[in-house]
Structure 1
Amino acid sequence: MSFAQEFSQQRAIMRVYSAYRFVLAAMILIALIFGPANSTLGITAPKWFAIAVIGYVLFALLALFIHTLFSQRYSQTQLFFEFFVDIGVIMVMSYCSGSADSGLPLLLIVTISAASIIMPSQLSLAIAALATISTISEVAAHTLSERVSAQRFIVAGMTGTAYFSAAIAIRYLSARIVKAQQLAELRRADIEQLSRINQRIVQRMQTGIVVMSRSGQIKLINAAATELLDIPTPVVNNNHYVPAILIDMAGSAENCAKVISIGSRHLDVHVNMSVLEQSKDSDRLLYIENISKITQRAQNLKLASLGRFTASIAHEIRNPLSAISHAAQLLAESPDLQAADQRFAAIIQNHAMRMNDIIKNILEMSRGRSPEPMRFSLSTWLEKFLDDWQPVSHTPLDIEFDKALENDDVNVDRSQLMQIISNIAENGARHGAQTNDKAVLTFRCLKNPSSGAVSLDIIDNGPGINSEDEDKIFEPFFTTQEQGNGLGLYLCRELCLANQIHIYYRRTELGESCFRLQFSHPDRGTLAE
């Protein structure tokens, strides 16, 4: 037991004992004043009894005041003195009462018990010895003025035996209680340490963990769950609730699991709900897993299969396609070719080149390497990237970069991120130049205050994508351009999946066309295995 705990325990016991002492002294004083005339209290020496009682009341009041208002550490001398005064005053009052029927010496058992709890064994036995000596001495003093029977000495001896028995028994029980308390403190410390370890493990888990009531009130949540559910942090005072769709799941009294779309990013997550107790109103434990990890593994398998497929057909398609393109070029160079035939030859060449680009993009996806993530500052890297980047079409372009963001670390593959941003920026510059005199691209870094995840908005001044086509733009071979092949944004999405980046199209508050890249937390994001 620590010194602080020992002192706190001593102070609590002395406060209770001081209150008992004051109540006892006050009751004896009241009995003396308002008691019957034939009372045994103070019958032998009423004057000295009154002085002893009044002095005891004042001493008890002073001790109660000291133990209640002051918090200094107790010395063994101070405690021994207080118990010594208790023994002396009570035995004086017993002597002044004269009769053996006053019962005052029995009150010392409480004093001896209190001393045995808070004082060492030697001092507590010394208190019991003083009480025994005082009891026998009080009987012996009566023999000087009156005839005392031997029975009085026997009673005094038995009372002394009771004092020692009480001191030994209370001391033994007190030692057992202290040992039990120390053991409980050790167990409590172990449990607290295990709780802290479990808390750290839960917080570092990449699977979201939520413990909630049936009404949806959050009782425990880790960082991964706050990020997936877009719950502001810190979650304190049990004043946060999970989204309504999870509350509906909690309405079931049975374990269940389902895939739902949740949060502002509309993430597809797998939620597994377990009822902690066999009760309808018991708490629910939710395991929330971002299935983009599963999608990512499936994507790797798909790319591997696509790589084997494209490798087998590359020669079968590219060789005749090269022959067709070369023949169309030679045909277009013929001086005897009519204008209409030259137009047909140009069409053949253009579509051959388009087919070659499609095969090139497919081969590029199929040969996609596993990402090599590195942690770096997004704004610092993006600033260097924009200094060097220029659109392939060489369209007139203004670039605006909002980099007012601190601690914007991401953990992705630099080269693949460069490929993603280059493709999106190239499309934005082309569409912006088609509808305006000059294309304007705005790059804006954002940060989610609750999860700490970083986002990048790429905004252009083009007409944007029709609302009915927004769900299709990431599908392969979907395009709204006559010369497009529909694989650019599909390739961007595949690279984003490989780097745990969520990409989607949106409109800004001003209605501008915007692609948002939402990065995973650099400490908790999971990359492809």
Structure 2
Amino acid sequence: MPFVRSTSQLPQGGVQQRELFGFALYRVLEAVLLATLAWTPEHLGLLSAVDGPLLRGAGTLYLLLSLGLLWASRREGATLPIQGGWGLALDIIIAATALSAQQGLDAAIGLLLLFNITIGSLIVGFRLSMALALLAAGAVFGEFAISTLAARDDRPLVEPAMFAVCYLAGAAFSQFLRRELARTEALADERGSEVAQLAQLNELVIRRMRTGVLVVDGQHRIRLFNEAAWALLGAKGEAQRLADLHPPLDALLRRWRSTGEVQPRSLRVGEDGPELLPRFAATGVRDELYLCFLDDARHYSGRAEELTLATLGRLGASIAHEIRNPLSAILHAAQLLDESPGMPEADRQLLEIIQGQCQRMDGIVDSVLGLARRESAQAEVVDLPRLLQRFVGEYRTMHPLGADQLDERSGGPLSAMVDPRHLLQVLTVLVDNARAYGRLPGQPARVLLRAQPATGDSAEAGAVDLDVVDHGPGIPPAVAARLFEPFYTTSEHGTGLGLYIARQLCEANQGSLRFVAVPGGGACFRIRLPGRYASERPGRPGTP
């Protein structure tokens, strides 16, 4: 019961073939009338027959041939001009024979022949119709001349002359109508093709709409639906009634029909199904039909989330600008203090740490500003083992580990295309999370950074995997499914933005970040980065 279009087509041969059949049927009627008059007893005085056998033979032959032409007009692939031409030629020959074989019906036969020529010319071409009109005029004049010479006819010359002129005029006028009919038929075909294309386009658009559409009648029987509606309602069979498909939606529609109001609440499909926002409308046709529009509430929440994140990005950019000023002052003061004479070596090491971390924070600020401005990452070829060694050393210096362990391991020389500032920021987020959540109760955290060539069917040539692995209790599947959602956190003090920003930074570098479950416990966050030759491929913008 999907959305389908309903189109009608002309029968085989179009309008002209229907006209040919009607004309042949009319010819049979004429033949029946002529045969009836021909076989009528002479004592009734209907005709003044000159040659009775000839008239009866002509009437009988006309009837048989007319029936044959009627049968031929219904055959598929009939040649319309040829059949129409032979039919008109038969009409002219029989008319001339009847005019010669009787007296009293000359005017009636002439009028019938005029009608046949006028209608038949709508089927045949211009030259053939004019030739047959001339043939009819010649037949009338010939019969008039023979009758006059035989002293059997006292009609004036003007009568056959008028018939001849009418034959030619009727044929010419019919050709004008024929051209107009052909133009109208072509226009109708063109409009019909456009309507069919529009119907097909409408069907495709409605079927691909994210909004579900249902059409039900006054008895709440389902008449039409699109794919989105069937998917949102979780239908698996061919339901005939809305009450069988979704009883709450059926009750809401009945309430709307009775009161004109819809309850301002969503409908849930099953326990784990989506929440639907229904809307109803009545059609303006005579049949009682109602439209049910079903929107997934998740689309609205997703749009609200996008607006929230856009606002957060602008806010983050403003905060980053405000942080940069005091950060520059701290760095400048540290540089001046470093120039002081007699500085103890321990204090000088602390100043180096301050300067290094100020520079790192400045890089983080640049990354946040670049992400807010939707700028591309400044990717470069990075030696991953060396970067990991540097990161572990700096992290141990800035974050006293105590009993916790942080190690790195690389499987040989590995290079990747990535912005090192972004990668260091992502690693900091992942290691902080591993130390906070990836430890067993009462035991120190053990975190391993591991770089290795990417494997799997989806891995591109030269891609590299960088894993951050802990040996904690692992992550439940329900939580793992929402790890990268913004503002989702299981901590009372968390913001739920760390993993989200980390994934955005990875995607800005043409990479990816995903969670990989570790058999036997623990968690692994895998960063996949493009190889060193990725710069030869078109890059994606540094935005999600």
TM normalised by structure 1 equals 0.53
Matches within 5 A, 1:102-501: 103-143=108-148, 147-150=152-155, 153-182=157-186, 212=213, 215=216, 291=303, 294=307, 297-315=310-328, 364-368=367-371, 370=374, 372=376, 393=406, 431=438, 463-465=474-476, 474=485, 488-492=498-502, 494-495=504-505
State the 1:103 CA deviation: 2.3
Give distance in 2, aligned partners of 1:501 and 1:162.
87
Q: Which moved more, 1:8-17 or 1:121-130?
A: 8-17
Give distance in 2, aligned partners of 1:356 and 1:316.
12
Give distance in 2, aligned partners of 1:35 and 1:422.
114
SS in 1 for 2:374: coil
**Mapped contact 2:58–2:98 kept (Cα < 8 A):** yes
Q: Does 1:19 align with 2:25?
A: yes
Give distance in 1, aligned partners of 2:248 and 2:541.
26
Give distance in 2, aligned partners of 1:31 and 1:182.
43
**Mapped contact 2:487–2:496 kept (Cα < 8 A):** yes
Give distance in 2, aligned partners of 1:115 and 1:504.
79
| 1:201-221 Cα shifts (integer Å, max 9, x gaps) | 989xxx968695665987899
**Mapped contact 2:31–2:63 kept (Cα < 8 A):** yes
Give distance in 1, aligned partners of 2:375 and 2:447.
37
State the 1:47 CA deviation: 1.8
State the 1:471 CA deviation: 6.7
Give distance in 2, aligned partners of 1:217 and 1:36.
69
State the 1:51 CA deviation: 1.9
**Mapped contact 1:41–1:97 kept (Cα < 8 A):** yes
State the 1:302 CA deviation: 3.2
State the 1:147 CA deviation: 4.3
SS in 2 for 1:69: coil
**Mapped contact 2:122–2:178 kept (Cα < 8 A):** yes
Q: Which residue of 1 aligns with 2:62?
A: 56
Q: Does 1:89 align with 2:94?
A: yes
State the 1:132 CA deviation: 2.7
| 1:64-112 Cα shifts (integer Å, max 9, x gaps) | 3444325265666x75444222211122134323223782332212321
**Mapped contact 2:38–2:55 kept (Cα < 8 A):** no
State the 1:489 CA deviation: 0.9
Give distance in 2, aligned partners of 1:101 and 1:420.
111
Give distance in 1, aligned partners of 2:132 and 2:73.
21
Residue 365 of structure 1 aligns with an amino acid whose one-letter code is V
Closer/same/farther in 2, CA of residues 362 and 85 from structure 1, 3 Å limit: same
Closer/same/farther in 2, CA of residues 164 and 144 from structure 1, 3 Å limit: same
Q: Which moved more, 1:119-128 or 1:27-36?
A: 27-36
Closer/same/farther in 2, CA of residues 124 and 274 from structure 1, 3 Å limit: farther
**Mapped contact 1:29–1:54 kept (Cα < 8 A):** yes
| 1:351-401 Cα shifts (integer Å, max 9, x gaps) | xx999999986664344362549xxxxxxxxxxx99999997558999xxx
Closer/same/farther in 2, CA of residues 359 and 528 from structure 1, 3 Å limit: closer
**Mapped contact 1:459–1:512 kept (Cα < 8 A):** no
**Mapped contact 2:426–2:502 kept (Cα < 8 A):** no
SS in 1 for 2:121: helix
Closer/same/farther in 2, CA of residues 318 and 88 from structure 1, 3 Å limit: same
> Alignment length, in residue pairs?
438
Q: Which residue of 2 aligns with 1:68?
A: 74
Closer/same/farther in 2, CA of residues 187 and 396 from structure 1, 3 Å limit: same
| 1:270-299 Cα shifts (integer Å, max 9, x gaps) | x99998988996879999897366456435
CA-based RMSD: 7.3
| 1:119-172 Cα shifts (integer Å, max 9, x gaps) | 344432332232233234334434455543335x54444433433342233233
**Mapped contact 2:49–2:101 kept (Cα < 8 A):** yes
Give distance in 2, aligned partners of 1:61 and 1:387.
98
Residue 110 of structure 1 aligns with an amino acid whose one-letter code is F
State the 1:44 CA deviation: 3.5
Give distance in 2, aligned partners of 1:387 and 1:106.
107
Identity %: 16
SS in 2 for 1:44: coil
Closer/same/farther in 2, CA of residues 43 and 193 from structure 1, 3 Å limit: closer
**Mapped contact 2:374–2:541 kept (Cα < 8 A):** no
State the 1:503 CA deviation: 9.9
Q: Which residue of 2 aligns with 1:336?
A: none
Residue 53 of structure 2 aligns with an amino acid whose one-letter code is K
Q: Which residue of 1 aligns with 2:44?
A: 38
Residue 142 of structure 2 aligns with an amino acid whose one-letter code is S
State the 1:48 CA deviation: 1.7
Closer/same/farther in 2, CA of residues 39 and 219 from structure 1, 3 Å limit: farther
Give distance in 2, aligned partners of 1:301 and 1:75.
77
State the 1:490 CA deviation: 3.5
Gaps of 5+ in 2: 1-10, 217-221, 236-244, 338-342, 350-355, 378-382, 393-405, 412-416, 459-466, 528-539
Closer/same/farther in 2, CA of residues 186 and 330 from structure 1, 3 Å limit: same
Q: Which residue of 1 aligns with 2:239?
A: none
Give distance in 1, aligned partners of 2:24 and 2:180.
24
Give distance in 2, aligned partners of 1:355 and 1:481.
29
**Mapped contact 1:52–1:93 kept (Cα < 8 A):** yes
Closer/same/farther in 2, CA of residues 40 and 193 from structure 1, 3 Å limit: closer
- Paired residue for 1:98, among 82, 88, 103? 103
Closer/same/farther in 2, CA of residues 357 and 93 from structure 1, 3 Å limit: same
**Mapped contact 1:211–1:283 kept (Cα < 8 A):** no
State the 1:54 CA deviation: 2.7
